[in-house]
Amino acid sequence: MLERQLIARYGRRDLGLGPLVNGTDGGDGMSGHFPSAETRARRSASISAAFQRPDVRARHHAATSCSAFRSSRADAQRKAWTVERREQRSAQARTRWADPKFKSMMAEKMKSVRDTPEYRAQFRKAHNIRSVQCVETGRAFDHAMQAVAWLATQGKPKAQNTPILRCCRGEQRTAYGHQWIFAEKESPAEAGLIERSSSQRICSM
């Protein structure tokens, strides 16, 4: 307990919070350990290579698919995450996030991940985000919220994205004095669920 308190007080060098060279938050186990990118890549390559073997995949499936394994694992997790441990981890997280240096470091990490075309494409696909287009102006927007921001500059500060999307889906004729359509083709799954004519897809007020 004292070790954890001292590490939390003086800060770890690898997290940019202090001078200590500890790789964990202290105590037994690996609590608070963040493996380097090289270590993660090496582990990933090793596991991927092992799972190329059919016998390894078969053993893993047999070991993890039985109800006894799932039940024992759930019991172990419940026993490990006691009320005291949850409170301790919560306190550690609050202490860590209260430090401006840590928050700044994490913000930079998240920004470096999110500011990539691959992440944006994945996010759009996961959340079914589609581009929209104003028919009158021909102006296209990556998503409806960008169109809302543009409408605010056109004297419509109370505009919302829902009417625009309803218009694009053919549920209403106009939104904020404009016709709207999806600027990209609908997915096959959505096409199977929603059948509408071309006149419905081009909404008019």
- pLDDT, one tens digit for every residue, the chain (205 residues): 678 788 777 887 777 778 887 777 777 777 777 777 888 889 899 999 998 999 988 888 888 888 888 888 888 888 888 888 888 889 989 998 999 999 999 999 888 888 888 888 888 777 778 899 999 999 999 899 999 999 999 999 999 999 999 999 999 999 999 999 998 765 444 444 333 333 333 344 3
Q: Which of 49, 84, 115 is the endpoint of a domain? A: 115
Q: Which of 115, 144, 168 is the endpoint of a domain? A: 115
Are 180 and 111 in a shared domain? no
pLDDT score of 21: 76
**Who contacts 148 (Cβ-Cβ below 8 Å, separation ≥6)?**
159, 160, 161, 164
Strands lying side by side in the sheet with 140-141: 140-141, 132-134, 180-182
Return the structure tokens found at 106.
């994490």
Are 3 and 90 in a shared domain? yes
CA separation for the pair 157, 3 (Å, rounded): 54
**Who contacts 105 (Cβ-Cβ below 8 Å, separation ≥6)?**
15, 16
Are 91 and 4 in a shared domain? yes
For residue 132, what is the enclosing H or E element? Answer: strand 132-134
Q: Does residue 134 lie in a domain region?
A: yes
Are 196 and 135 in a shared domain? yes
Are 97 and 137 in a shared domain? no
Q: Does residue 33 lie in a domain region?
A: no
pLDDT score of 179: 95
Are 107 and 6 in a shared domain? yes
Q: Does residue 108 lie in a domain region?
A: yes
Q: Does residue 36 lie in a domain region?
A: no
Q: Does residue 185 lie in a domain region?
A: yes
Q: Does residue 159 lie in a domain region?
A: yes
Are 104 and 146 in a shared domain? no
Are 192 and 161 in a shared domain? yes
Structural domain tally of the chain? 2
Q: Which of 90, 115, 140 is the endpoint of a domain? A: 115
Are 1 and 98 in a shared domain? yes
pLDDT score of 61: 85
**Who contacts 95 (Cβ-Cβ below 8 Å, separation ≥6)?**
8
Are 106 and 143 in a shared domain? no
Q: Are 190 and 125 spatial neighbours (Cβ–Cβ below 8 Å)?
A: no
Are 87 and 137 in a shared domain? no
The domain in which residue 86 lies consists of 1-20+75-115
Q: Does residue 54 lie in a domain region?
A: no
pTM (two decimals):
0.40
Return the structure tokens found at 113.
């991940």
Q: Does residue 67 lie in a domain region?
A: no
CA separation for the pair 156, 186 (Å, rounded): 28
CA separation for the pair 20, 24 (Å, rounded): 10
Are 174 and 151 in a shared domain? yes
pLDDT score of 185: 60
User: What does the chain come to in residues?
Assistant: 205
